[in-house]
Structure formats: structure tokens, C-alpha cells
Structure 1
Amino acid sequence: MTLDANIAKAKGYIAHFAETGVLNHIDGASVPAASGKTFETISPVDLTPLAKVAKGGAEDIDAAVAAAKKAFPAWSKTPGAERRKILIKVAEAIEARAEELAFTECLDTGQALRFMSKAAIRGAANFRFFADQAPHAENGEVTRTPTQMNTTSRRPIGPVGVITPWNTPFMLSTWKIAPALAAGCTVVHKPAEFSPMTAKLLVEIAESAGLPAGVLNVVNGFGEDAGKRLTEHPDIKAIAFVGESRTGSMIMAQGAKSLKRVHFELGGKNPVIVFDDADIDRAVDAATFMIYSLNGERCTSSSRL
């Protein structure tokens, strides 16, 4: 298929977003921002506007957190085996719509289809992997010595916030959302403002597969308002974030007052070490691929050689 044909197919998949906009998703319903404000998401492919996006703020985050808090008791008490069944159905639903997810993400991020098609399937694999952990999510550990015994237990801690980046956003969001759901936590997800479309598709797919309303909520917006309120909200018990180190430091400071737990994947350097006995041609190919694949938009880009 030609590039023009791929772009046309992608635009066909996201035509509904052009008509309705990319709305927030709170307590099972698609809703505009409380303020009525929007912003545009623009395709890096040809710089054309794709859709209007709800510009969420503190009020929207508060509503999403309230929904997650309301849904938490029932979801956390759902047996792990039952959560597993639901998450497996989510994985199957993702696979059924993998092409739509891949094409949508291509146009929203500017990534090549060869990578985004695999990323969609990887998202389903993430849900399958963590679904299998759900029945054992609360298993603790007992260690003994001749004179002492130490017992640990695991419990879902409540609503958690997930903030994800603009590169391969769908797959990276499943890395954070799937384990939280498997553990019995509920989620408020703020996707990157540059690529918000597949976050809305994910919550719709998850609820169509049986995930109860309010267990996964999505609020679009910018870090300085929606993101900051999410990281400071007293009812959010933990924050998962993928992004640059400076922002991670700010999030940790914002959550410190309420002693939030954090799970960070921050900016780093990825060295490639080539030894004297290496096949130099293969090493050059590998280093070049790691630097320039995914349009260079990868957190594992080999930035040092």
C-alpha cells in the first residue's frame, strides 16, 4: 500500500474524532471539558489539524478522581480470577481493533506503520501478561529465620494517576494501566497532549470488553493544569509517569505532601558498547537502527556509542 493510501486509510479511521472531537472519558461517559475549552491535535505527517481535543483542567481531574474513588471498592474486591477474565477480554478487543489503533497512532504521532502495528499488538500482550498476574496480585511473602518471621502483604491502594508520553502512546499506556487494573486499583489517565487519540480508544475498548465504568478514566489537557492537579490530588495514591527527568522531579515534589508512591521511567542515556571482536558491519547497522528507527522518537535510542 502506498503512503497516500495509508494516510487515506488512517484518516478514515479517525473521521469520527474530526466530527465529535476527542472528549474526556469520566465514569463511563464521553464528556467535554468542564470549561468548554479545546485545543487542536495536529498530525506531524502533513501538519494538518486532526481534531479538537477537550482541554481538561482541575475540575475535570476532580470529577475523574471522584469516579475512580467511587469505583474502587467494588473493583478492588472483585476476585483476581474475575479481573483476569475481564483483562483478557480487553486484550482480545485490542487485537480486534489493532489496525484502527495502528493507523490512528501513525497519523497522530507521525510514526511509521511498520512500528505502530507492532505497538498495538504489544499493548494487547501487555494486558494478557498482567491479566495472568491478577489472581496472585495480593499474594504476600513470608520469610523465616530460627528466631524471627517476617510477613508482607499486598493490597490495592486506591485510585492511581497515569501520565504517558507522546511517542508510542498506546503501548506505553498499557504498560502502566494494565498492571494497575490487575492489582485492583482504579485509574485516571492523562495522555500527552500531542497524541491523545488512542487513549480515548483504549478506554472505549476496555469498557466494551466489560471493564466497569469509572475504573478507567481519561482526562486530556496540559501538564501545568490537568497534570499538576492529578499529581497533587489527595485521593490519588500513586503516580506512574513516562517522560523527561525534570518533569519527573516536579511530579515527585507535587506528590510529596500526600506521600504518593511513584513509578517513573525518565530520560536516560542508552550506551552501545562495541568490543574489539564484534562484527563491525552488524554493530553499525544495530546502532543506526536504534538511533533513527521510530523517527528517532524512542526512549531507548542509542544516544551514546
Structure 2
Amino acid sequence: MTSLAIAPATPPTTTAATPVSPAATPAAAATRRPAEGSVHSWDVSTGVDGPGTRFVTFLSGCPLTCLYCHNPDTWKMRNGTRTSADAVIAEAGKYVRFISASGGGATVSGGEPLLQPVFTGELLHRMKHELGLHTALDTSGFLGVRAPDALLRDTDLVLLDIKAWDPATYKKVTGRPLAPTLDFARRLADLGQEVHVRFVLVPGLTDAPADVEGVAAFAGGLGNVSRVDILPFHKLGEGKWQALAMPFTLHDTPSPTPERVAEVREVFRAHGLHAV
């Protein structure tokens, strides 16, 4: 990801406690959505956060504990900053013209944004309807049952991480079961929701031929997956694990070779998918 600008989540003092205006957002007022959430940071970036240049809001809190996570500092909601939706929207508004010119939009990421589904829904709604931006939700799908249909209607694209196909491998990687993610993927397919699947290729962990084939066949059969990102494992986040005094068990794991990455892309392409 090429970062163009980054800022801490701490909102301006003039807006930190400002509630959402009922007059400006009647839908939000009608459902009594809270005006604040736990935000780790925000970033304006170009990469795998959706098409074009994106304003990405990283929320704090995640139920997964992925072995290769490059942001373990987002796992706990208490480590975020209580931030008003007004502050996030005001910050995103500074970049609307630049983002729109690039064909980009806004992405709500994490952590796991569906750990805060009401706040996430408010951000997506206001990014889409107030700022006129293309919206994306970046999720593992584990908490997909928490995403109401209204939230998904305000989401133009779901970035769905399918981290492994073998249930035992998935549990080893994430600490959680696989089934909820697959159930959410099927629900998105039934809704006709556009999805980009992301698959992290970790040598000796997720690169087994059966795992790769399983994810590829599943994604290819959904009918709503417009892109698959094969993400080579890297250790750029290892320093964060060390700073948190957490053991990084993949310290000795190498990145996959370019040849192996290319092979995996071809497996996905064989199932009719646009894999990059």
C-alpha cells in the first residue's frame, strides 16, 4: 500500500463530542445511532483497500488473532480513541475532490469494523450519501451476522478475507472457526453484493494445494466475486508484536516466492476469477 497521508484518530477539539445532527441525518436519528466509536486511525491510501485512492478509517477491536496480523495494536477496542462520526466525516470531506478524481472512495476497516456495526453503518451511510463516495467494508466476515441489510445497502463493495479453507488451518491462523465467514460470503452472494476476496499466502501455513484450491473453488462458485487479491505474507508488522511484548510465531517464515504467488493466481484464474 502506498500511503499518501496519515493522521491519528484524535478528532479536533471542536468536534470530539459533537453529536450527529438529526436534521442532517434523519435516518441516523431515527435509529438512534451513537455518534462515537473507537477509532484507531485514518489514512488516505492507494492499495488493496478498494479501487482508486481511498479514505480508510481503521476501527479498533477484532475477535480474530491472526498469526500474521500487521496491526495487532488494533485488536483491543480500549486502545482506540473515542471519536465522533462528525470528526471522521469532516476529515474525509477534506479529500473528496481528490478521491473522486481518482475513481476512489471510502473504506471502513480495522481491526474488525463489524465489532462496531452501528458506528460502521453510520460511517458508511454518511460517506455514501453526504460525501457521495464509493464505499467499501473491509471484514473477515466472522461477525457477518451483525451486519444488517441497511448497512450492506450503504456498502458498494465488500473486501472479504478468506484466510484458509481447511477448518483446522483457519482456526490455527485466526483462533476462530471458518463457518461464519463462509455463511457471510453466501449471504453476500444471495444479495448480489460485489465482493473482492483477499487471500494471504503464507508458506507452510495457507499455501497447501488443497487450501488454495478450496478457497478458489468456493470463491469461483459464488458468482459475485469481481476480484481476488493474492497477498504475499510479509513481516512488516513484526515490530508491533515486539512492542506489545507478544511472540511473533511466524518470525522464521519466509515470504512466498514470486513463482509460487503466480502459481496460486493461476489456480484462482482457472475458476474464472480475476486474480491479481
For Structure 1 versus Structure 2, the TM-score category normalised by the shorter chain is 0.3 to 0.5
Higher relative contact order (CA 8 A, sep 6+): 1
**TM-score (ref. length: structure 2):** 0.32
Greater per-residue helix proportion? 1
Greater per-residue strand proportion? 2
Work out which of the two has the higher radius of gyration on C-alpha atoms and give 1 or 2. 1
**TM-score (ref. length: structure 1):** 0.30
